Amino acid sequence: MSLPFEEVRLRLPHIELAAHLYGPADGQPVIALHGWLDNAASFARLAPRLPGLRIVALDFAGHGHSDHRPPGASYAIWDYVHDVLQVAEQFGWQRFSLLGHSMGAIVSVLLAGALPERVERLALIDGLIPYTGEADTAPQKLAEALKAQMALAGKRKPVYAEFERAVQARMRGTAAVSRDAAELLAQRGLMPVPGGYTWRTDSRLTLPSPLRLTQAHAMAFVHSLQCPVSLLLAEQGILVAQPHLAELLSGLPIDLTHLPGGHHLHLDDEAGAQLVADCFNPFLRSS
């Protein structure tokens, strides 16, 4: 039986990234971007339900099978934006749509706000802007980040004696997922080591950000969007729990849809994936 995707490696000028390709080569171009500590398997249920699209589901740098950034480098959110732009260049796409979940949605908004001429449509799942920080907290945040960075060398990744234990740990992660979703993410996210399995992800991904955009900075990107935007809010997700969400979204030209499910509603089960597909199929395929 043939797989619904093709596994590829993309050699960019500065890094090599892994990706899953879905759909016909002449389909409408879409780059799919997963959330923090997830991988391309995040779209394993959704992408096959979006026919007619050429979907490049990336492993972000430091995630899944993609390369880690070199020693001394960091994982600033805007560096992911640059990566995505380089992926579009590799495929020769001057205009393309972005399908983003969580952190992937944030990266999508930053890119579309900075270079609106490149992005056709934004399909966002439970994510919009990054966590923000105001000027008065900047010294404290930088201090926390520096201390965490200095302590990182003494930390070790967890090793799970059995694959099943890793799946259970992923189910209980910061954003809890279903067992099926955890298995899909773990199959791509784990690697064998002496004593069992550990995560492929770069340990630096868990470091706190040394600098955050202010609320005004973040919203400037949202206000710079020129393409149609569809934002799906999970009823048990992380966006609905944020204070002042209604005020933040008020007056924005964003099509909002509330759907049942958690933060990973597009991956947790088949029913959730179909609900998301039903929203995004007419949106992404409209001319």
pLDDT mean over 152-162: 93
pLDDT tens by residue, 172-211:
988 889 999 999 999 999 999 999 999 999 999 999 999 9
Q: For residue 58, what pLDDT is reported?
A: 98
User: Model confidence at 250, in pLDDT bands (50, 70, 90)?
Assistant: confident
Predicted confidence (pLDDT) at residue 2 exceeds the cutoff of 80: no
Q: Please confirm, yes or no, whether 224 is among the known catalytic residues.
A: no
- Separation CA 51–CA 53 (nearest Å): 6
Mean pLDDT over each residue of the chain, to the nearest integer: 95
What residue ranges do the domains of the chain occupy? 6-133+212-285
Mean pLDDT on 238-251: 82
Q: Which DSSP string corresponds to 72-98?
A: T----HHHHHHHHHHHHHHHT-SSEEE
Q: Is the pLDDT of residue 239 over 80?
A: yes
Lookup: tokens for 58: 């990336």
What does the pLDDT look like over 46-55, one tens digit per residue? 999 999 999 9
Query: Which listed residue (102, 108, 224, 250) is catalytic?
Result: 102
pTM here is: 0.96
CB 145 within 8 A of CB 209: yes
In CATH terms, 6-133+212-285 corresponds, of 3.40.640.10, 3.40.47.10, 3.40.50.1820, 3.40.50.150, to: 3.40.50.1820
pLDDT band at 267 (very low <50, low <70, confident <90, very high): very high
Query: pLDDT value at position 3?
Result: 65
